[in-house]
Structure 1
Amino acid sequence: MKNFFSSFFLVLFLSSFIPAQKLSVVEIQKITDKSQGEFYFPRTSPDGSKIFFTSASYKGLWYYSMAEKKIIPFASEDGAGYEYVFSNDKSSVIYRASNLDDRGLRRNQSLIKRNLQDLQSEVIVTAKELSTPKVLASNNIAYMEEGNVILEAGGPHLNKTGANDMALYSVDGKILFYMNGTKKVFSPLGEGEYIWPSLSPDGTKILFTEVHRGAFISDLQGRILASLGKISAPNWSPDGKWITYMVEKDDGEFVTGSEIFACSSDGLHVFQLTSTSDVHEMYPTWSSDGSSILFNSEDGNIYSLKLKSE
């Protein structure tokens, strides 16, 4: 009997790490129409009440209010829509803005923290060239300036870095891995051109793409755990069990097709979520609760794809 219960609880324990085996589409809803403006790269706010998006050139940020059912401007700066992040307390958006001179040339860059409620802005730092910001587990804000990782206080005080303070930067085809005050080049496949690195939600795995060999998942030491194939713009689900991505086709010059897929984080279960010849679905991201995937069409419409897992 003792062995029975030991085996029973072992099965329960292991099953908690096995993702759902099937994803299906419940519905696809158009959130914005290009008659309202051409928008791209959607993401939800942490509380799920807003869907953020930007322009094709990353100039400005807008959001669609789920409660008010309308588009609301949020930020107007050049570059504001590129790799922005939400603060850990869910109160603010932190983004990099390019400051231009009278000729339209970039003079310098600033990191700006903008409150979601009162829209008050705080300039964190201004320098000739800055990376996009990262929010660490310690609540500090990390960024790179002249190759150095610099920490700024995410709250009233700068917190000491903890065991889970990690950030990934993609710089000139290399992944720079910052962890607990140290920085190293992260090259799990050796020499290559690396893009789209991201940490799993639990901070134990790294998703990355090498442009000639495809997308992979590794542990923090670089040991490969899963190969996902030739895919583009992969993103973790909030629970870390799934990856969504797009698969593009082109004629060497123009995109001729693009569809949204999802796969289990071990790469074993793959589901095609869209299949259209007249709409090129691109750049998927997960909603904050993992129940939906947001994406844009090539011509600038924003969509929400509601999922069912079983």
Structure 2
Amino acid sequence: MDVKKIVLLNIFITSLLFSQELFYIKSPPQLLIGQSETGFMQPKWSPDGTQIAFTSINYRGLWVADSSGNNIRQLSDEPAAGFDFRWSPSSDQIVTRVARFENFLRFNALELLDITVRSKKMLTPFTRQLPGVPQWLNDGVVSYYDGQKLASLQIKEGRTNKTGRILVFVKDGNIAVYKPGSDQIILQDPLKRDGYLNVVLSPDQKKIAFEIMGGNMYVMDITGTNIIDLGRGYRPQWSPDSRFILYMLTEDNGHNYTASDIYVIDIFNKEKQNITLTDDKIEMNPNWSPDGRTIVYDEFIEGNIYKLELEINQ
């Protein structure tokens, strides 16, 4: 048995032996998608748990595979298509931002990708303005901040912006909260400083996780109260039950990543667990499956995507 397999097996056995851990690892990480010349990264589960979307290095292009890692098909080869793309609630479409370059100038637009028929549709014209990250208000309406207001695009007939999920995003240096059916965007500045990023609403729509640029990761109530400092961490991802946050903790030399592991933290007692714990791999960009039993992530050096099965210690 080679050294890497022994290390992974030891992690698996240790996880089973120490019951005080938040989760135990059911099996060593499994290679899900690999052997790409360009390398893959940023995997995201579809809401129904049957598919995984991912991009390549520098966020160029977008691919989709079955949850088993099979049936890989490319949806886009455009620059920036893989940066913070969003699945539709029905798991049949993805909305994203794409870029093109003319005379060294960047132009940006929103694009809709249909998974079933593998078609593309431009939702906005290319402009120099970088639109905010598009979000699905409901299964038929996409909303995004256009630099002045929260704009809405009707994707399916019969749907309006009067119902749907609460939206959170960054606006004018603040955390913005929009509730469907209202005409008001509530701005919050919980830490009285600039640099909010990676703002994520919990599945139960009661809490918001976010980072401070150059600082720590936090959780607060959607009202902007009960702020909890979770310490260092990047790109928070909520568990389906809104109790845990999955994140990565990276190190770099100013040019490249030199180390990274994936952690999970209980937001109520701040207990955390390193669930990858390797010295020879750089695990990044974790994403939780809708049933909470599996995470997917990418490995920076290899450019491969792995899955890891977890079970909570009750």
- The alignment's TM-score, normalised by the length of structure 2, stands at 0.83
* Structure 1 residues 298 and 160: CA distance shift in structure 2, 3 A: closer
Which position in structure 2 is the counterpart of 1:156? 157
Deviation of 1:75 (Å): 1.4
* Structure 1 residues 303 and 67: CA distance shift in structure 2, 3 A: closer
Give the partner amino acid of 2:267.
S
Q: Is the contact made by 2:248 and 2:286 (CA closer than 8 Å) also made in structure 1?
A: yes
Q: Is the contact made by 2:190 and 2:227 (CA closer than 8 Å) also made in structure 1?
A: no
2:211 maps to 1:245: no
Which stretch shifts more, 244-253 or 43-52? 244-253
Which position in structure 2 is the counterpart of 1:6? none
Secondary structure (helix, strand or coil) at the match of 1:125 reads coil
Which position in structure 2 is the counterpart of 1:228? 230
Secondary structure (helix, strand or coil) at the match of 2:268 reads coil
| Separation (CA, whole Å) in 1 of partners of 2:148 and 2:309 | 41
CA deviations on 1:59-89 (whole Å, 9 max, x unpaired) are 1001233457243212122211111111222
Q: Is the contact made by 1:170 and 1:176 (CA closer than 8 Å) also made in structure 2?
A: yes
Deviation of 1:245 (Å): 0.6
Deviation of 1:254 (Å): 4.0
| Separation (CA, whole Å) in 2 of partners of 1:111 and 1:248 | 30
Q: Is the contact made by 2:152 and 2:161 (CA closer than 8 Å) also made in structure 1?
A: no
Q: Determine which of 288, 300, 304 is the counterpart of 2:307.
A: 304
Which position in structure 2 is the counterpart of 1:188? 190
| Separation (CA, whole Å) in 2 of partners of 1:119 and 1:33 | 22
**Structure 2 counterparts to residues 267-286 of structure 1, below 5 A:** 267-286=269-288
Which position in structure 2 is the counterpart of 1:23? 23
| Separation (CA, whole Å) in 1 of partners of 2:104 and 2:252 | 33
Q: Is the contact made by 1:161 and 1:181 (CA closer than 8 Å) also made in structure 2?
A: no
Which position in structure 2 is the counterpart of 1:124? 123
| Separation (CA, whole Å) in 1 of partners of 2:220 and 2:295 | 24
Which stretch shifts more, 187-196 or 264-273? 264-273
| Separation (CA, whole Å) in 2 of partners of 1:174 and 1:301 | 35
Deviation of 1:117 (Å): 0.8
Which position in structure 2 is the counterpart of 1:87? 88
Deviation of 1:198 (Å): 0.7
Which position in structure 2 is the counterpart of 1:219? 221
Which stretch shifts more, 167-176 or 269-278? 167-176
Deviation of 1:193 (Å): 1.4
Secondary structure (helix, strand or coil) at the match of 2:308 reads strand
| Separation (CA, whole Å) in 1 of partners of 2:91 and 2:156 | 12
* Structure 1 residues 59 and 230: CA distance shift in structure 2, 3 A: same
- The alignment's TM-score, normalised by the length of structure 1, stands at 0.84
Give the partner amino acid of 1:111.
L
CA deviations on 1:74-110 (whole Å, 9 max, x unpaired) are 2122211111111222221111222333x4632x333
* Structure 1 residues 193 and 267: CA distance shift in structure 2, 3 A: farther
Q: Is the contact made by 1:248 and 1:255 (CA closer than 8 Å) also made in structure 2?
A: yes
Give the partner amino acid of 1:224.
N
Structure 1 moving runs of 4+ over 6 Å: none
Q: Percent identity?
A: 26
Which stretch shifts more, 218-227 or 54-63? 218-227
| Separation (CA, whole Å) in 2 of partners of 1:133 and 1:41 | 17
Unaligned runs of 5+ in 2: 1-19
Give the partner amino acid of 1:305.
L
Which stretch shifts more, 172-181 or 293-302? 172-181
Q: Is the contact made by 2:47 and 2:90 (CA closer than 8 Å) also made in structure 1?
A: no
Which position in structure 2 is the counterpart of 1:168? 168
CA deviations on 1:257-309 (whole Å, 9 max, x unpaired) are 21111011324321110111110111111122211111111122111111111
Which stretch shifts more, 196-205 or 213-222? 213-222
Give aligned pairs, total: 288
* Structure 1 residues 271 and 155: CA distance shift in structure 2, 3 A: same
